[in-house]
Structure 1
Amino acid sequence: MKHKTMMFALAAAAALVAVSAVPATAAPGGTTAQWNYAVHPIAIRSPFSPGTGTHALPSGPADCLTATGGEFACQTPDSIRAAYDIPATINGVPAGTGQTIVIVDAFGSPTVRQDLATFSQAFGLPQADLNVIYPGGTPTWNGKGTQLGWAQETSLDVQWAHAVAPGATIDLVIAANDGGNSINTAEQYAVDNHLGTVMSMSFGIPEYLITGNNGQVAQAHQVYVDAAAQKMSVFASSGDDGSDNTAGTANFSYPASDELVTSVGGTNLLYGTHLQKGVRETVWGDFALCATTCADGPIGATGGAPSLLTAKGGSDVAYNASVYTGVLTYLGFMGADASGFYFMGGTSAGSPQWAALTADVVQAVGHRIGDVTQYTTSWAGKQLYDVTVGANTTPTFAGGYAATKGWDRPTGYGTPDVAAIIRALR
C-alpha cells in the first residue's frame, strides 16, 4: 500500500494522512489472489491541542472558523446533533441505549479506550461501553505504514459513533490485518454472533483493482446476505478519491457498491456558519467547489460512480465528510509532540455516524429496520435533506458527477433528519 503524508501550517505543523489500495500479490497455486482493503482517514492537527497555543475546545463550526482564520468549520457532537436533528436522549435515556453498534476495522489502535474516554470527557458525553474483539488474534502494533492510518480510522469510528449514539454499546471487531479474507472473517464473526443491530465499514477498495478477481467479493456479499437475514443495517463509505478512485475513468468502491450495503457519500456541512447562505450542504468535492477559504488547497472528494460489479449507480445517502468541515477527534498515539485533537474528514466519518443514528432510530421505534436503502426513495426530500450543489470531479477524471435535485451519484438521496426519520417509522 502507498502512504502519503502532506504538511500544512496551522498554528503548528499539521499532518494529513491518506492510505490507498494496491493489489495484493497473487496467491500460490493459481488460487484467487487476496487483495487488501484500505482506509482514508484525513487528519489535520487542530489548534485545540497541547503545544499549539490554544486549548479551549470550540462550541461549534463558527468558533472553529474564527480560530483558524476562516479555513476550518469543524464539528463537535453538539453541532452535528443540531445539524442532523439527532436526539441526545430518547424516552428519557441517552440515545442508542439498548443497542449495539458493530464497527469493523483492521489492526486497531493502542490507545482506543483512553482516547475515547478523553473525547467523551471533553465533550460532556457519558463514558462509553466499548468491547474490543479480535476474532483472528490480537495484531502486533508497530505504528508504521498502513497501521497508522487504521489506528486513526479506529479512533474516528469509535468516537463519532459514540457521539451520535452515546447510550449504545460499541463492539469494535478488529481484523488481524487489512487483507480481504481477514476483514471478511471479522465481519462474518460479527454477523454469526449477532453482535448488533447495525454495522459500519469505513474501508474499501477501488473496483478496478478487483474486476475479474471477485472471489473475495462473493465471500463478502454472503456476509451481507446473512446480515440482511437478521435485519442488521450495514453501512460503508463511498470513498475519498472522487468519481474515479484515481483510475482515470468512472470507478466506484467496494463494499459500498454492494447492493445490500448502504453507501454513504460525503458533503461539506455549512449549517450553523456564515458560509451557509441558503445552502446547508454541498457535495464534498474540493476540486469543483471548496467549502471555506481552503487555504491548504483541495484535499479530496466523495466517491460515487456507476459500479463495475453491481447495478448500483453511486452513493445511497450522504453525511458530512469534508476535512474543512471535519469532526474533532482525539488521537493519543501520535507521540508526545503530536497527540491531541485533530480535524478529521473523509466519507469514513459518515459510515459510523449513519450506523449510530440508525441505532438511535431502532431504539426509538422498537424494532430493527434492516437495509436502509429500502426506505431512501420514500424519505427523499422529507426525511433526507437534498444536496443539489457541487460535484465529485478530480484532476484525474474531470468528468465526474454533479449534484442534482433528487438522487445523484455523489450524495444519493441526501443527508438525514433523524427526528423526522423516527417519526416516519413509528
Structure 2
Amino acid sequence: MRSTPPARPSTRSSRRRIGAAAAATAALVFAGFGTAVQADAAPSASSKVTYTATPCATPKHTGELACNSYRVTGGLTAYQKQQAAKTGITPKAADASTPSGYSPTNLRSAYGLTSAAASNGSGETIAIVDAYNDPNAESDLATYRSYYGLSACTTANGCFKKVSQTGSTTSLPSSDSGWAEEISLDLDMASAICPNCNILLVEATSATMANLGTAVNEAVTLGAKFVSNSYGGSESSSDTSYDSSYFNHTGVAITVSAGDSGYGAEYPAASRYVTSVGGTKLSTSSTTRGWTETVWKTSSTEGTGSGCSSYDAKPSWQTDTSCTKRMISDVSAVADPATGVSVYDSYGVTAGWYTFGGTSVSAPIIAGVYALAGTPASGTYPAQYPYDYAGTSSLNDVTSGNNGSCSVSYYCTATTGYDGPTGWGTPEGITAFAN
C-alpha cells in the first residue's frame, strides 16, 4: 500500500512538483518495499516492466530541484520484446550485463535522423547541465560510444570537456551517484542523436536553481549553442527573474524536460525562452514510419508533465488560446521507461548497462536534433522553430493518450495538432528544428 502523499509545499523549498503518488512510490522504493510498475505492461510476471525513480529524482536538500529520470529494474522492455520476436528466444529480465533498451540506431530510425546523424553535427557543441560530479563520466561515455560503434569522444581528442559551473576543469563539485546516473543518461542520448557533435558537461555545485542556472550561463559563455537540462521543480513567482538571469539566450537552443509527475507545470520547462520537451511511449508498428507514439502515462502522477504556467508570460509564437500564459510542452520524444533507452553507468551502481526512461531522455534527444539542424540564427529563440513547421510532415503528430485529468482537454490529452503533453509532436528529420 502506498503511503499518504505529502502536502504540496507552498514555497519553492522542494522545487520539484513531486507530490502525491510519485513521492510516495519513491519512498517505498528507497526503503526497499516496492517499485513503481508500468500500468500497461504485459500481464505476465516475467515480462512486467518495473522501475524506480533515480536517487536524484528526490531532492537531497531543501531548495534543490530534481532530475527527471527512471531506471528500469526488471521485466522485459520494448527493445527486448522486439529481439525476442526476431530470434524466438525470450531474453532474461533487464540487468546490467547487456543493453536492454533502445539503441542509437533505433532512436535515429524512429525520428528520421539516420542520414542527418551520419553527416551533420561536426563543429557543434551540445552542453549537458547537471548537478554534482560524475567522476566516471568520460569513461562511461567511452564505453557507450564504443559499444554502438560511435567515434571516440574524449578530452584527448577535444570532443569531450567537463567543467564546473565556473568553468574550472580541476575544481569540480562533490560526487553524487544519483546525479551520475542522470549525467550518463544525458551524455549517452546526446551522443546517440548527434555522434559528430562535441559534448560539454557543466556540473553545478548543487541542484539549486541558482547553481544550475549559473551552469547554463557558463555553458553559453563557453560557446555551446545547444544546452540540455533534465531537471525541474515547482513553479514560483521567482521564475520570471530566473528567466532573465539564466535562460534568455538568443541564438541558443535550450531544452528542458517537462517533468515526470504527470499533468502539471514545472520550471524551468515553463520558461518562455526554452524548448519544453514532453514524453511519449515509442513502439514499433507496421506503418510506413515503422514506429508509433502515444503520450507517456503510467498513472495520474507518473508520466510526462504538461500544463499552463501560473507565472511565465506566453511567447509570441505560441498561439493556443485557452492558456493565456506559457503552455508546456513544445515538442516531445520517447520517455516511457517501458520503451526506454540503453545507458552505460558505473558510478554508485554495478557497472553495466541500464534502461532509463523519463523526460530526462527526451530533453537531450531534442537538443541533439537541434544540433543536427545547425547553428541557430543569432537574435532568434530556437523554441519558435518547431512552431514554424506546425502541422507539417516535419513533425510526427501524437494524437492519443493523456497524462492525467485537467479542466481544458488539450492541457493533458493528445489531439490532432497542438497539445500539452506532446506539443506539436516528435521529430521527423531535422527541418522543424532549423531556423
Given residue 401 of structure 1, which amino acid in structure 2 is its aligned partner?
C
Unaligned 5+ runs, structure 2: 1-13, 15-22, 38-44, 154-158, 313-324
The answer to whether the 8 A contact 1:21-1:36 is kept is: no
- Give how far 1:370 is off: 4.5
CA–CA distance in structure 2, aligned partners of residues 379 and 39 of structure 1: 30
Match for residue 173 of structure 2 among 136, 139, 146: 139
1:262 maps to what in 2?
275
2:227 maps to what in 1?
199
Is 1:345 aligned to 2:357, yes or no?
A: yes
Given residue 325 of structure 1, which amino acid in structure 2 is its aligned partner?
T
CA–CA distance in structure 1, aligned partners of residues 64 and 136 of structure 2: 24
Alignment deviations for residues 75-110 of structure 1 (CA, whole Å, 9 cap, x no partner): 1100111110113556xx653111000110001312
Given residue 134 of structure 2, which amino acid in structure 1 is its aligned partner?
S
2:132 maps to what in 1?
107
The answer to whether the 8 A contact 1:61-1:273 is kept is: no
Given residue 305 of structure 1, which amino acid in structure 2 is its aligned partner?
G
- Partner SS state of residue 116, structure 1: helix
- Give how far 1:60 is off: 7.7
Is 1:414 aligned to 2:425, yes or no?
A: yes
CA–CA distance in structure 2, aligned partners of residues 58 and 403 of structure 1: 22
CA–CA distance in structure 2, aligned partners of residues 13 and 36 of structure 1: 29
CA–CA distance in structure 1, aligned partners of residues 131 and 389 of structure 2: 33
Alignment deviations for residues 366-395 of structure 1 (CA, whole Å, 9 cap, x no partner): 956943332223312321111110000179
1:84 maps to what in 2?
111
Is 1:242 aligned to 2:262, yes or no?
A: yes
Residues 59/255 of structure 1: CA separation in 2 closer, same or farther (3 Å cut): closer
Alignment of 1:268-307 (within 5 A): 268-270=281-283, 272-273=284-285, 280-287=292-299, 300-307=302-309
Is 1:362 aligned to 2:374, yes or no?
A: yes
- Give how far 1:158 is off: 0.4
Match for residue 17 of structure 1 among 53, 57, 73: 53
- Partner SS state of residue 299, structure 2: coil
Is 1:385 aligned to 2:396, yes or no?
A: yes
- Partner SS state of residue 120, structure 1: helix
Alignment deviations for residues 231-280 of structure 1 (CA, whole Å, 9 cap, x no partner): 0111100000011xxxxxxx30000001111100000011x357999971
Alignment deviations for residues 332-352 of structure 1 (CA, whole Å, 9 cap, x no partner): 1244xx321111000111111
CA–CA distance in structure 2, aligned partners of residues 106 and 387 of structure 1: 32
- Partner SS state of residue 210, structure 2: helix
1:153 maps to what in 2?
182
Match for residue 188 of structure 1 among 217, 221, 230: 217
Alignment deviations for residues 25-80 of structure 1 (CA, whole Å, 9 cap, x no partner): 5xxxxxxxxx22110221124789xxxxxxxx998871167746999983110011
CA–CA distance in structure 1, aligned partners of residues 427 and 379 of structure 2: 15
Given residue 98 of structure 1, which amino acid in structure 2 is its aligned partner?
G
Q: What do you get for the CA RMSD once the two structures are aligned?
A: 3.6
Residues 276/368 of structure 1: CA separation in 2 closer, same or farther (3 Å cut): same
Alignment deviations for residues 111-158 of structure 1 (CA, whole Å, 9 cap, x no partner): 1111111111111111122100113541222xxxxx333111100000
Given residue 182 of structure 2, which amino acid in structure 1 is its aligned partner?
E
How many residues align? The count is: 367
Residues 281/309 of structure 1: CA separation in 2 closer, same or farther (3 Å cut): same
Alignment deviations for residues 213-232 of structure 1 (CA, whole Å, 9 cap, x no partner): x1x6513433222x12xx01
Alignment deviations for residues 262-315 of structure 1 (CA, whole Å, 9 cap, x no partner): 100000011x35799997110001237xxxxxxxxxx93100011111211220
Q: Which moved more, 1:125-134 or 1:278-287?
A: 278-287
Is 1:252 aligned to 2:296, yes or no?
A: no
Given residue 261 of structure 2, which amino acid in structure 1 is its aligned partner?
D
Q: Which moved more, 1:173-182 or 1:127-136?
A: 127-136
- Partner SS state of residue 307, structure 1: strand
Matched-pair identity in %: 29
Match for residue 329 of structure 1 among 327, 330, 343: 343
Q: Which moved more, 1:36-45 or 1:350-359?
A: 36-45
CA–CA distance in structure 2, aligned partners of residues 233 and 140 of structure 1: 28
2:20 maps to what in 1?
none
Given residue 260 of structure 1, which amino acid in structure 2 is its aligned partner?
Y
Given residue 359 of structure 1, which amino acid in structure 2 is its aligned partner?
A
What stretches of structure 1 move > 2 A for 4+ residues in a row?
1-15, 17-25, 45-48, 57-61, 64-74, 87-90, 219-223, 272-279, 366-373, 375-378, 419-422
- Partner SS state of residue 213, structure 2: helix
Residues 240/260 of structure 1: CA separation in 2 closer, same or farther (3 Å cut): same
- Partner SS state of residue 324, structure 1: helix
Residues 77/372 of structure 1: CA separation in 2 closer, same or farther (3 Å cut): same
Provide the TM-score with structure 1 as the length reference: 0.76
CA–CA distance in structure 2, aligned partners of residues 394 and 24 of structure 1: 30
Residues 323/369 of structure 1: CA separation in 2 closer, same or farther (3 Å cut): farther
Provide the TM-score with structure 2 as the length reference: 0.74
Residues 112/140 of structure 1: CA separation in 2 closer, same or farther (3 Å cut): same
CA–CA distance in structure 2, aligned partners of residues 13 and 332 of structure 1: 22
CA–CA distance in structure 1, aligned partners of residues 163 and 116 of structure 2: 28
Unaligned 5+ runs, structure 1: 26-34, 49-56, 142-146, 244-250, 289-298
